[in-house]
Amino acid sequence: MKKVFASDFDGTLYFYKAEVKLPPESVEKIKEYQAAGNYFGLCTGRQVGGLTPFIGGFFDPDFWITSTGSNIIDKDMNGIRKLFVDRDIIDKIVKDVKPRGNRISIDIDGVINVFEEMDYPGEYNVITGMDDAPQGMVHGVGIHCETLEEAAALTKEINDKYGDYLNAFQNVIEVDIAPKGTSKGEAVSVIREYYGDCKVYGIGDSLNDLPLLEASDVSYTFPYAPKEVQEKVTKVVNNIVEALEDSMNDVI
């Protein structure tokens, strides 16, 4: 039986506010995990283009679950499963939210599309709306809020208005939007089918990780995660290194 480890990115593996954003001990443990014949991948609301500038040259995931499961690719960037949200629906959301001043990021074929220039090391496009956005699959949308309360309210608003077409998830002070029926947990079922006979280990730190954690055979979170998340997992660990070690020591 294979061991497959699916990791959230922000707040789990990568800490954008910290001086050391991608801890070297985490990178080394990931490589050790893979060298032992196990599979390690990412499971995140970020686009492919929101990941490659930060992990390139450090480690190579065996799979990438991006945009909350709507764009799943293998280690060679070949598609495992791709879903999209109707562009007309995204256009309506943009017109609803953009006047409020929220920062919006749209994933089109794995590339970031935003509404103003930004200090970013990877590829991105600046657009004014869906009319001049590149053609291609809209895998998801990320909306930045200022507070947890604002993010919770906006998540509910979007699900109430557009829930027939998509799912919105609160990710701390972000709102992640994915195609209807898609979630990090649903994506785990795709990975299970892809690898065949396997045991899945999942780790995350936020409410939007609950589907991933609940779909995993063994799940991990941290002492700083919300109480609702800690109550749902198999084990609370101090860092991803501890979780990877626990998975490696698991006899199956």
Are the C-beta atoms of residues 2 and 39 closer than 8 Å to each other?
Answer: yes
- Structure pTM? 0.91
Q: What are 177's two structure tokens? A: 């939007």
**Nearest C-alpha neighbor of 98 from the set 77, 74, 129, 54:** 129
CATH for 87-179? 3.30.1240.10
Q: What are 209's two structure tokens? A: 């990780």
Helix axes 24-35, 240-249, angle to 10 degrees: 20
Query: How many angstroms separate the CA atoms of 89 and 92, rounded?
Result: 5
pLDDT reported for residue 77: 95
**Nearest C-alpha neighbor of 29 from the set 56, 59, 52:** 59
In sequence order, the β-bridge partners of residue 78 are: none
Query: How many angstroms separate the CA atoms of 157 and 25, rounded?
Result: 40
Interior CA angle at 245 toward 241 and 249, to 5°?
Answer: 175
pLDDT reported for residue 37: 98
In sequence order, the β-bridge partners of residue 218 are: 201
In sequence order, the β-bridge partners of residue 71 are: 66, 82
Interior CA angle at 240 toward 234 and 246, to 5°?
Answer: 55
Query: How many angstroms separate the CA atoms of 178 and 68, rounded?
Result: 6
* Pairing outcome for strands 235-236 and 79-82: unpaired
DSSP 136: S
Topology classification of domain 2-82+183-249: Rossmann fold (3.40.50)
Q: In 10 A of CB 101, how many CB atoms?
A: 8
* SS3 state of residue 140: strand
Which residue ranges make up each domain of the chain? 2-82+183-249, 87-179
Q: Mean pLDDT per 10-residue run, the chain (252 residues)?
A: 98 95 98 99 95 94 97 97 97 97 96 95 95 96 97 98 96 94 96 98 96 98 97 98 98 91
Query: How many angstroms separate the CA atoms of 173 and 191, rounded?
Result: 28
Q: What are 17's two structure tokens? A: 């506010």
Task: Report phi then psi at 189, rounded to 5.
Answer: -65, -35
Ramachandran class of 143: left when φ > 0, alpha when ψ lies in -120 to 50, beta otherwise = beta
In sequence order, the β-bridge partners of residue 141 are: 106, 177
